[in-house]
Amino acid sequence: MINSDPNYWIISAGDNERDYSELFLKHGIMLIGPGDYGNYYENKEDYCKMRVYRLRRFVEEIKPGDIVILKPGMYKRVIAAGIVEEGRNWIENELENGYFYTKVFSDVEGFSLQHGRYVTWHKADKPQELDWWRGTIIQARDKLLPIIKPFAEETLRNPLVKPKRIPKLPTSTTNVDLIDKLILEGFSETQAILFVHEFSRIRQLGKWYEEQIYESGVDLSEHETITFLIVPLLLALGWSEKQLKIEWEQIDLAFFEKDYADTDEPMMILEAKKKTKPLQQAAKQARHYSQKYPNCKKLIVSNGIKYKLYKKIDSAWKYKAFLDILNPFEKHPYDHNIDGAPQLLADLRS
Distance CA 299, CA 293 (A): 12
DSSP three-state, residue 153: helix
> Average per-residue pLDDT in the chain?
92
Q: Could you read off the pLDDT of 239-276 as tens digits, one per residue?
A: 999 999 999 999 999 999 999 988 889 999 999 998 88
DSSP three-state, residue 45: helix
Q: Could you read off the pLDDT of 19-34 as tens digits, one per residue?
A: 999 999 999 999 999 9
What pLDDT does residue 219 have? 84
Query: 312 with 282: CB under 8 angstroms?
Result: no
Q: Which residue has the higher pLDDT, 21 or 97?
A: 21
Distance CA 115, CA 30 (A): 8
Distance CA 180, CA 130 (A): 53
> For 42, phi and psi rounded to 5 degrees?
-80, -15
pTM, full prediction: 0.90
Residues contacting 92, CB < 8 A, separation 6+: none
Residue 137: pLDDT over 80: yes
Rg of the chain taking only CA atoms, in angstroms: 22
Topology (CATH) of 8-155? ph1033 like fold (3.10.590)
Residue type, 336: H
What pLDDT does residue 350 have? 72
Cis peptide, bond prior to residue 278, ω within 30 of zero: no
Region 78-88: mean pLDDT is 94
Distance CA 168, CA 92 (A): 11
